């Protein structure tokens, strides 16, 4: 199954609120994971994306969670199914179709940037 989720992660670092998003794609026994400071708007400009350590599959099903060891709070923004378009998600550049409750479109990752494009383009 090709599941995905977008999590909003909030934590306090040196008395400063750090908010970012964790984007997870199911990949075998774990999830390929990237960190974004903003998720791309549909048909908007590219945004920066940073590879993160793989996460456990359980994160695909968690709605919200207070993390241990002062690592903050995580809440699901959206989730659904993805379909690879050209190559597998282990490559640095790939395109997938995201089908979620709110987010739908072609997610294109090129090196350290990504964008979300309408399906009808």
- Give the pLDDT confidence of 75-93 residue by residue, as tens digits: 999 999 999 997 788 888 9
Sequence spans of domains, the chain: 3-117
pLDDT in tens, 21-74: 999 999 999 999 999 999 999 999 999 999 999 999 999 999 999 887 878 899
Dist CA 26 CA 94 (whole Å): 15
Helix (H, G, I), strand (E, B), or coil: what is residue 100?
strand
Helix (H, G, I), strand (E, B), or coil: what is residue 86?
coil
What per-residue confidence (pLDDT) applies to 35?
A: 96
CA angle 76, 19, 48 (to 5 degrees): 95
pTM: 0.92
Dist CA 45 CA 40 (whole Å): 7
């Amino acid at each position: 199954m090709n599941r995905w989720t977008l999590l909003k992660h909030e934590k306090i670092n040196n008395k400063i609120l750090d908010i970012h998003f964790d984007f997870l794609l199911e990949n075998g026994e774990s999830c390929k994971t990237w960190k974004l400071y903003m998720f791309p708007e549909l048909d908007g400009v590219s945004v920066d994306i940073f590879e993160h350590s793989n996460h456990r599959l359980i994160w695909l099903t968690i709605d919200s969670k207070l993390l241990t060891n002062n690592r903050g709070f995580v809440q699901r923004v959206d989730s659904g199914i993805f379909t690879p378009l050209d190559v597998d998600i282990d490559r640095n550049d790939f395109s997938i179709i995201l089908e979620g409750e709110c987010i739908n479109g072609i997610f294109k990752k090129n090196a350290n940037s990504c964008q979300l494009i309408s399906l009808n383009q």
